[in-house]
Each structure stands twice: as structure tokens, then as C-alpha cells.
Amino acid sequence: MDQARALARESLTEARRSLQALRPEPLEESGLVEAITSMADRWSQAFSVPLSLETTGEPRPILAELEATLYRVAQEALTNVSKHSGASKAGLTLSYMDDEVLLDVRDDGVGFDVGSLDGNGHGPGGFGLRGMRQRLRRVAGNLEIESAPGEGTAINASVPAIPAEGGG
């Protein structure tokens, strides 16, 4: 019986370690708003693209997996802005609603024809969009893409606002 308990404790410890490895390091030391703000500020400086940041609603901790997903989507969306858009400015809004948390990343770049993508975000250069969509689907989230040639792009991600364990 003691061996079974020891094995169970060891397995639980290993499972927790694995889950923590999936969480972006900035989220280990701060909340989602602070982590995204810091990442976005570094991005703006690195690519010399002015980035406006806004948070609406009352920020609150949500499940770690949901926070990690929004953080990674924000990273990928900004990567796409720097690689593909030719934008002169960008904006990022994190909105806390009653039942969901929304992330909007928009730019004034060259845009593209959303119709050229298939339902999974496949198309010319569509790997980043596909990855965002897949991440969000794993947590019952959603991704919407608004763009047109010459009119910039808006990436709208949403996840359920499930409170973090021990949170309110």
C-alpha cells in the first residue's frame, strides 16, 4: 500500500511538472494582463511599431490553460503583424466579460483576402492562424479573422471565463 501511495504521489508530482512546463514563463510571475502588456511592449520596441494596449472589464484570474492560450494567441498574432502586415501601428485589447475573455489584435497593414483561407486557417502563410485556431478549440474558445486587402487585419479570440482554482 505504501508503494502504491508513493507511486501515486510521484505520478501527481510529474503531472504537475508537465502542466507547468506548458505555461509560458511570464505567466508564472504575473497575471495575464501584466504578461501580455510586457510581451507587447517588447514586441513594439523590437519592431518599431506603435502598439496601443487596452484592458476592459475587471481583470481576474482564469484557469491557467485559458490564460496560456490567450498569451500564445497574442504572441502569434503579433508575430503575424511583424512578418506579414507592413503595419504602421497595431492595437491589442483584452476584455473581461461575465462569461468570456476576449483578445483583439488589430493592425493597419496590407490585410488579405480571408476567403483565401479554408475553414482551418490554411492558405498562403496560414500556419500561424491555424495554430491559433487549434489552440483555442482545445479550450472551447473561438477565433474570428477580419481582413481585406489594403484594410488591415483584426484577430478576435475568445475563451470561456472559467475562474482559476481558488479564484473567485
Q: For residue 105, give the CATH number of its domain.
A: 3.30.565.10
How many CA within 13 A on the CB side of residue 35?
22
153 domain-assigned: yes
pLDDT tens string, the chain, 168 residues long: the values are 887 777 777 776 665 555 555 566 666 777 899 999 999 999 999 999 999 999 999 999 999 999 999 999 999 999 999 988 899 999 999 999 999 999 999 999 999 888 876 555 445 555 678 889 998 999 999 999 999 999 999 999 999 999 987 654
Domain presence at residue 38? yes
The residues that bridge with 146 in the sheet, in sequence order, are 154
Indicate whether 75 belongs to any domain.
yes
Q: Is residue 35 part of a domain?
A: yes
Is residue 151 included in any domain, yes or no? yes
| Torsion of Cα atoms, 160 then 164 then 167 then 168, to 10° | 10
Domain count, the chain: 1
Q: Sheet containing 90-96: which strands, arranged edge to edge?
A: 51-56, 90-96, 100-107, 153-160, 142-147
In this predicted structure, what is the pLDDT of residue 83? 87
Q: Give the per-residue pLDDT at 126.
A: 57
